[in-house]
């Protein structure tokens, strides 16, 4: 049976010691959020993840969702778990108090998302998608729309979805065919078919609020003609009560590789009533608000799967007895040594540990910058933080989901034959993790976004939001003898990243395919440098704790040893990625189609 224990020590280390929680609690609107309150929320969040969500993860995977004549039933225990989740106020954790939310910082919501995804990724998609809908309506909805929908989404009685993809178009949303025809009363009749709609139909909430992309009759061609509409399953009455059934119906659910506990729906709209969100033909802005939140959420799915997979690989490696250590028996009282004594098993576990802990620090740093972008009193600081989030969103979405799948595969390998069968539960992690590399923009699209949009935006303004802090950090600490074994590898890898950035930008001006050819390797190079930066910050925090004599000495020493492993065994991948990115488009584009 699989195991999961919320990594509260690691979470608190990042929030309190590495990032400094005072950077959040000092923001306007966050003064009532104390360190003690944060710890209490995290502890309660860990309980519901460990005791309520995790026990129904494997059973939910086996049972899956059931479809019957337009209705979807979630697996046994999901409805009860959702009611418990709602009763605890978790659907409104990071939502605006004006609409009934708890108003907690995004950073705390980020930590909670990690734990939920580790415990039960399929379940977490239901409230996760609702939060994406909440964000879009909160930013772009009229006062009337917000007053009608947000309190119900925040309290969890209504849920939300994003209806973007159609049978003939996924990434290229300019090709959508769903039509919206205006009515005299200000509403619209919307017709079309949407596919791959996560949580599009289920039995957890009394209403489901769909955010639907469609085109008006006078819409321009392409993405400039996209509008966004709110389309409820049941049309709300003026007092907020559920009214008549709307003409949006689930036509079927997909039979999938993983995330069986979450319904993936075909949604048919046949003159369904909807209301415009934002301006006509300006749905792209609101769509990106949803997509960016979704991409950050998917990054947390990658991290969550990586954490729970690592925990299970570690537990098995400590327990499974096979052969003796190469240097002689380590446990002579046993018939064989546990496999954790073997170097290659340790290599696999340490890659998982180093990447997971580094990704957590990077994700939480982004969560903190989201809070700064929302709350800081200085406009320049808000913009700086917003730029950093925009730059790093494709990086963590792609890298952390790639590594979530890779670490799940590591865990299967550690388990050997037992990893391949369902009884031990770890093969589910690989199946669940695989979708995160695909939806909300495939990881190849994330790489193109980074190199094609983010790199040149504002004449490199977004890049400077990351490059300048890293450069300043290296300069400030390069003379510190206690840090040199960490700073020097970071400095070397960072210099290569700057070099590849400049060369790709230069070559892409002459040939755009140069950027496309380099994009995936460049994103991976970027991510590895970002994690190295985070590991240096973690080393400083751990050294500070050791010097003060506070806390668990073994915990902080392990942080330093893991950082050393990262610098020596993971970060060198940047050299290979640099060479591959610099190889250019020619090796990729030289083949004629018929030569494949």
Task: Indicate which residues carry an active-site annotation.
Answer: 440
In terms of Cα–Cα distance, which of 583, 197, 569, 573 is closest to 399?
573
Rounded to 5 degrees, what are φ and ψ at 338? -65, 150
- 269 forms beta bridges with 192, 248
Backbone angles phi, psi at 471, to 5 degrees: -60, -45
The pair phi, psi for residue 243, each rounded to 5°, is -110, -135
Q: Tell me the angle at which helices 343-375 and 283-319 cross, rounded to the nearest 10 degrees.
A: 150
Cα–Cα distance for residue pair 504/455, rounded to 1 Å: 10
Q: Are 227 and 180 in contact (CB under 8 A)?
A: yes
Residue 510 burial (CB count, 10 A): 8
Q: Give the C-alpha separation, 179 to 193, whole Å.
A: 10
Reduced to 3 states (helix: H, G, I; strand: E, B; else coil), residue 559 is: helix
Write the DSSP assignment of 299-367 as a string of letters.
Answer: HHHHHHHHHHHHHHHHHHHHH-B-S--TTS-S-TTSSS-BGGGSHHHHHHHHHHHHHHHHHHHHHHHHH
In whole angstroms, give the CA distance from residue 582 to residue 507. Answer: 10
Alpha helices in 35-105 (DSSP H): 35-48, 57-63, 78-87
Structure tokens at 357: 């802990």
């Amino acid at each position: 049976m699989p195991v999961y224990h919320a990594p509260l020590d690691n979470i608190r280390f990042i929030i309190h010691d590495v990032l400094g929680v005072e950077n959040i609690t000092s923001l306007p609107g966050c003064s009532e959020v104390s360190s003690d309150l944060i710890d209490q929320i995290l502890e309660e969040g860990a309980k519901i993840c460990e005791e309520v969500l995790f026990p129904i993860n494997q059973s939910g995977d086996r049972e899956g969702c059931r479809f019957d004549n337009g209705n979807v039933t979630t697996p046994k225990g999901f409805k009860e778990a959702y009611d418990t989740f709602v009763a605890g106020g978790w659907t409104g954790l990071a939502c605006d108090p004006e609409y009934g939310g708890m108003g907690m910082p995004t950073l705390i919501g980020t930590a909670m998302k990690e734990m939920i995804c580790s415990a039960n990724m399929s379940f977490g998609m239901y409230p996760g998608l609702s939060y994406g809908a909440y964000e879009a309506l909160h930013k772009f909805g009229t006062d009337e729309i917000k007053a009608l929908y947000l309190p119900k989404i925040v309290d969890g009685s209504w849920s939300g979805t994003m209806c973007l993809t159609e049978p003939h178009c996924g990434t290229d949303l300019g090709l959508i065919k769903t039509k919206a025809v205006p009515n005299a009363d200000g509403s619209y009749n919307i017709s079309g078919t949407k596919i791959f709609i996560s949580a599009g139909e289920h039995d957890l909430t009394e209403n489901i609020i769909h955010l639907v992309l469609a085109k008006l009759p006078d819409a321009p061609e392409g993405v400039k003609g996209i509008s966004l509409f709110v389309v409820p399953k049941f049309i709300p009455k003026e007092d907020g009560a559920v009214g008549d059934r709307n003409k949006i119906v689930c036509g079927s659910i997909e039979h999938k590789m993983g995330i069986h506990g979450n319904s993936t729906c075909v949604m048919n709209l046949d003159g369904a009533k909807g209301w415009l969100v934002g301006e006509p033909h300006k749905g792209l802005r609101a769509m990106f608000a949803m997509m960016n939140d979704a991409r950050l959420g998917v990054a947390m799915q990658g991290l969550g799967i990586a954490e729970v997979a690592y925990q299970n690989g570690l537990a098995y490696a400590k327990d499974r007895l096979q052969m003796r250590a190469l240097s002689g028996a380590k446990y002579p009282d046993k018939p064989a040594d546990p496999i954790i004594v073997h170097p290659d098993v340790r290599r696999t576990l340490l890659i998982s540990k180093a990447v997971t802990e580094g990704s957590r620090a990077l994700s939480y740093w982004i969560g903190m910058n989201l809070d700064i972008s929302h709350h800081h009193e200085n406009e320049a600081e808000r913009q700086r933080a917003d730029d950093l989030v925009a730059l790093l969103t494709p990086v963590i979405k792609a890298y952390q989901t790639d590594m979530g799948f890779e670490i799940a595969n590591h865990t299967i390998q550690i388990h050997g034959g037992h990893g391949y069968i369902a009884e031990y539960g770890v093969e589910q992690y690989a199946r669940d993790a695989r979708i995160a590399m695909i939806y909300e923009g495939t990881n190849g699209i994330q790489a193109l976004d980074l190199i094609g949009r983010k790199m040149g935006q504002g004449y490199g303004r977004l890049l400077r939001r990351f490059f300048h802090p890293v450069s300043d950090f290296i300069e400030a600490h390069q003379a510190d003898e206690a840090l040199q074994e960490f700073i020097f590898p970071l400095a070397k890898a960072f210099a290569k990243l700057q070099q590849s950035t400049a060369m790709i930008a230069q070559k892409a001006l002459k040939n755009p395919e140069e950027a496309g050819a380099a994009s995936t390797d460049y994103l991976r190079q970027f991510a590895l440098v970002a994690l190295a930066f985070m590991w240096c910050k973690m080393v400083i925090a751990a050294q500070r704790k050791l010097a003060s004599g506070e806390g668990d000495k073994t915990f902080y020493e392990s942080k330093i040893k893991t950082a050393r492993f990262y610098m020596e065994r993971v970060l060198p991948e940047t050299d290979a990625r640099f060479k591959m990115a610099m190889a250019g488009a020619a090796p990729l584009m030289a083949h004629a189609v018929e030569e494949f």
